[in-house]
């Protein structure tokens, strides 16, 4: 480095640390683990999770945090010396917010004092023993990774989740930027529906409740994750998330297609790697618009001419 080159110091990325405690025992059908059914929290309610878990406090070790959380959440006493390190899992989602940069340490033990129970009834609907080789369907995705590592006999494994996640925004956009009126699609374009199907088949769709309602059903051959603030909402074929970060945690690694509506497009366009846009040669009325495509940040890499009301199908890649 010369004097003309100032030192370039980047701030280290902040990681949110947490410890997860897996109590295990031998049952009639093999190894069983204690899981809690989350409720009353702002995150992953209705999903099964490790018996106890929580953030590591300043000055606290991962092991000490596990002992504390087990006492607080399931009412049992643990010894740090009895905790075995199963895995360390670093995770993120495609939104690079500090709160989404996490490192989770999973520990396990067969030794404890007291009877496990839901000690924080406002945060856990119940605790239950589950066969390790027959876990419930709705286990928090990154916790399932660690439980599967435990089932495979892992000790000290290093896992990651979400680092290969990429966002592709897909939308049909009128000349005036309108994509809808907030309740229904402003056009019926069979050719574009076929294009949407071919592009997203086999993938993961993330959409808001309004977009789901405008489609009216789950689309075959794809996972559909619906983001809604309504806690009791459900629909056949829909996986429900109550925040965008929850939806992306559920989506996992690989390309995720963001399919609307306007608010979700606005929250994700700055973090997307690809835009797949249908240019519609119409100017419908409507209050929902697609965000402006800043051509200093995006490069048009493919243009396929359409016909009729479809001007073209256009792919943009981030510069």
Residues 170 and 95 in one domain: no
Residues 156 and 188 in one domain: no
Residue-wise pLDDT tens digits, 202-235: 999 999 999 999 999 999 999 999 999 998 899 9
**Centroid of chain to Cα 39:** 18
Domain boundary among 107, 130, 161: 161
The closest of 72, 135, 136, 61 to 105, measured between CA atoms, is 61
Residues 252 and 294 in one domain: yes
Q: Region of 252 please: left (phi>0), alpha (psi -120 to 50) or beta.
A: left
Residues 140 and 46 in one domain: yes
- Tell me what pLDDT residue 185 has: 85
| Domain presence at residue 10 | no
- Tell me what pLDDT residue 18 has: 98
More confident residue, 185 or 166: 166
Question: Which CATH number covers residue 179?
Answer: 3.40.430.10
User: Above 80 in pLDDT, residue 9?
Assistant: no
Residues 173 and 291 in one domain: yes
Residue-wise pLDDT tens digits, 12-49: 668 999 999 999 999 988 999 999 999 998 889 999 99
- Tell me what pLDDT residue 13 has: 63
- Tell me what pLDDT residue 5 has: 39
Helix (H, G, I), strand (E, B) or coil at 201: coil
Q: What integer is the mean pLDDT of 110-134?
A: 96
Residues 232 and 313 in one domain: yes
More confident residue, 14 or 7: 14
Residues 169 and 136 in one domain: no
In contact, 300 and 313? CB cutoff 8 Å? no
Residues 172 and 313 in one domain: yes
| Domain presence at residue 6 | no
| Domain presence at residue 219 | yes
User: Above 80 in pLDDT, residue 88?
Assistant: yes
Residues 234 and 182 in one domain: yes
Residues 22 and 125 in one domain: yes
Q: How many domains does the chain have?
A: 2
275 lies in which domain range? Answer: 165-318
| Domain presence at residue 300 | yes
Residues 124 and 175 in one domain: no
Residues 148 and 267 in one domain: no
**Mean pLDDT over the full length of the chain:** 94
DSSP string, 282-311: -----SEEPPP--TTTEEEEEEEE--TTEE
**What sign for the dihedral angle of Cα 226, 216, 168, 261?**
negative
Question: Which CATH number covers residue 97?
Answer: 3.90.79.10
Alpha helices per DSSP H over the chain: 62-74, 141-151, 190-200, 209-215, 244-251, 262-268
Residue-wise pLDDT tens digits, 258-302: 999 999 999 999 999 999 999 999 999 988 999 999 999 999 999
Domain boundary among 100, 128, 161: 161
Domain boundary among 139, 161, 183: 161
| Domain presence at residue 2 | no
| Domain presence at residue 3 | no
| pTM attached to this predicted model | 0.90
| Domain presence at residue 88 | yes
């Amino acid at each position: 480095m010369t004097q003309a080159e100032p030192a370039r110091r980047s701030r280290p990325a902040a990681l949110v640390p947490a410890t997860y405690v897996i109590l295990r025992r031998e049952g009639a059908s093999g190894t069983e683990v204690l899981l809690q059914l989350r409720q009353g929290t702002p995150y992953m309610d209705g999903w099964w999770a490790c018996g106890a878990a929580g953030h590591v406090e300043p000055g606290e070790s991962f092991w000490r945090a596990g002992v504390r959380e087990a006492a607080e959440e399931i009412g049992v006493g643990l010894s740090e010396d009895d905790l075995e390190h199963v895995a360390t899992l670093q995770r993120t989602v495609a939104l690079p917010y500090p709160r989404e940069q996490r490192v989770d340490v999973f520990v396990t033990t067969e030794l404890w004092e007291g009877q496990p129970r839901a000690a924080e009834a406002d945060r856990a609907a119940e605790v239950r023993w589950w066969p390790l080789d027959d876990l419930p369907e709705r286990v928090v995705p990154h916790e399932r990774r660690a439980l599967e590592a435990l089932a495979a006999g892992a000790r000290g494994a290093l896992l990651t989740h979400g680092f290969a996640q990429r966002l592709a925004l897909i939308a049909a956009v009128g000349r005036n930027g309108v994509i809808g009126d907030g309740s229904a699609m402003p056009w019926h374009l069979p050719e574009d529906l076929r294009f949407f199907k071919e592009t997203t088949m086999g993938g993961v769709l993330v959409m808001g409740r309004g977009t789901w309602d405008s489609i009216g059903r789950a689309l075959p051959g794809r996972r559909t994750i619906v983001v809604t603030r309504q806690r009791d909402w459900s629909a056949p074929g829909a996986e429900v998330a109550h925040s965008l970060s929850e939806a992306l945690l559920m989506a996992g690694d690989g390309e995720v297609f963001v399919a609307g509506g306007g608010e979700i497009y606005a929250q994700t366009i700055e973090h997307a790697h690809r835009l797949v846009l249908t240019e519609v040669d119409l100017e419908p009325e409507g209050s929902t618009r697609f965000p402006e495509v800043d051509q200093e940040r995006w490069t048009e890499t493919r243009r396929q001419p359409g016909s009729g009301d479809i001007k073209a199908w256009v792919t943009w890649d981030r510069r």
